[in-house]
Amino acid sequence: MKLRIVIGVANFFGAMSRIAKRGSGVMVTGRIILKLQPDAVRILSRKRKVILISGTNGKTTTTSLIYTALLEKNEVVSNYTGANLFAGLAAALSKNLSAPLAALEVDEMVMPWAIKQTEPEMVVLLNLGRDQLDRLSEVRLVAQKWKDALATLPKRCLILADADDPFVVWAALDWSNILWFSAGGHGHIDASTCPACGAVLRWSQDGANYSCECGFARPDAQWVLTGDELQGPEHQSVKVVSGIPGRAALSNAARAIVAASFFGVALYDSAMSISRVTSVDGRFAKLRIGNTDFRLLLSKNPASWRETLSTSESGPERVLLVVNANTQDGKDTSWLWDVDFTALKKRYVVVTGERRLDVSARLTVNEIPHHLVPDENAAATLLGEVEADLIASYTAFHRLAKSVTR
């Protein structure tokens, strides 16, 4: 069957699924495309320049920002709403067949397949940390998968990788066409041993530098974000303004500006368009439940909880935590004990979600007073007519984000 017909059929069923309110229809479209044409991602990537974006945290935001920046100069397709598995990639590539660029978010474990299928022009590697250990396995093993896959990249491909993350560095360092990015390191919860040789990794006191007796060490970064100023290897400089709160969003904005510069978008133009993005796929969107105006924040693992708690600190005094442990959240909640919730001590804290008892036990030992409620509606009743942050794990976040009027 001709690919255009396959896409037509798949889009029809995707639309039906959307009309039947079974979701956005993206997954249905993608699955049908791959069923009828297993080679679709390879074929649809052929005449395009493809950018793959992956990492434990920040990939949806970074992809969306790269997409936004690239739009300044080009037509682009992207899965910027986070459908980052096989079907999501196929569905994204099936849109706007004349678009010369594709910015694709890829699940860490799907990277080997995505690299093989798309033969990308650029790969953006953000970070690797513990996340859903029951599904993704240990961090070192994910890094090994990346290392093997990156060795198969086409020679022309440029890697933009984080110099502050030892796992990312180890996975990427054999590649010659590489640019290192740094937004300033502050240690790494999983990198106590050297990814290269297994010996204990030596970290500087401030967590900004690391090295090993085997010679493995933090590379010098060509692109550096200091405060809000991004500087390049040829003395390029631009002020980064993020419409999305938090330090992580600022560094993702900087990465997006660097990435887009290789596709003809001037740093300043990218910075301007990126500064206007205030919410990505429900992150930091507003949601009213009862009389409470919530700001939605996604938090998935120890690293993202630390980041989110720090971002939320300057937000409203009241905060609702919603934690589940379904497949996409990770079924093991042990990680809650790797997060220090002390920052919540001065705030009014409400807890719900399928695993609220686990959270409550954690907060009890952390000596954070809190209220346990059965669901978000009960939380809203308790909170009343106020603004509040709602920090949710993956499945809870996506259920709530669906209700946000876009």
Binding site for another protein (CB under 8 A): 130, 133-134, 137-140, 190, 192-194, 198-200, 331-338, 357-358, 360-362, 364-366
- Return phi, psi of residue 270, to 5°: -60, -45
User: Who contacts 270 (Cβ-Cβ below 8 Å, separation ≥6)?
Assistant: 69, 72, 256, 257, 260, 261
Q: For strands 348-352 and 237-239, give the pairing.
A: unpaired
Cβ(306)–Cβ(339) below 8 Å: yes
Strands of the sheet containing 229-231, edge to edge, are 76-78, 101-105, 49-54, 122-125, 158-162, 178-182, 223-226, 229-231, 237-239
DSSP at 183: S
Q: Which is nearer to another protein, 83 or 191 (CB)?
A: 191
Measure the CA–CA gap between 238 and 232, rounded to whole angstroms: 9
CB of 192 to another protein, least distance (A): 4
Choice between 25 and 353, CB closer to another protein: 353
Q: Is 146 helix (H, G, I), strand (E, B) or coil?
A: helix
What is the token pair recorded at 266? 């001037």
For another protein, the closer CB: 268 or 337 = 337
User: To the nearest whole angstrom, how small is the minimum distance from the Cβ of residue 289 to another protein?
Assistant: 25
The alpha carbon of 57 is separated from its chain's Cα centroid by a whole number of angstroms, namely 4
Cβ atoms 240, 230 nearer than 8 A: yes
212/267 with CB nearer another protein:
212
Give the side-chain half-sphere CA count within 13 A for 111. Answer: 31
How far is it, in rounded angstroms, from Cα 50 to Cα 111?
13
> Which amino acid belongs to residue 312?
S
Nearer to another protein, 31 or 362 (CB): 362
Q: Per this entry, what is the length of the chain? A: 406
* Nearest of 396, 370, 400, 392 to residue 383 by alpha carbon: 370
Measured CA to CA in angstroms, residue 343 lies from 295, 311, 351 at distances of 18, 11, 15
Q: Which amino acid is at 358?
A: D
Residue 281, token pair as written in the block:
């796929």
Give yes or no for a contact between 306 and 397, defined as CB atoms under 8 angstroms apart: no
Pick between residue 132 and residue 273 the one whose CB is nearest to another protein: 132
User: How is residue 201 annotated by DSSP?
Assistant: P
CB closer to another protein, 275 vs 360: 360
| Rounded CA separation 257/265 (Å) | 8
Which tokens go with 272?
């301007």
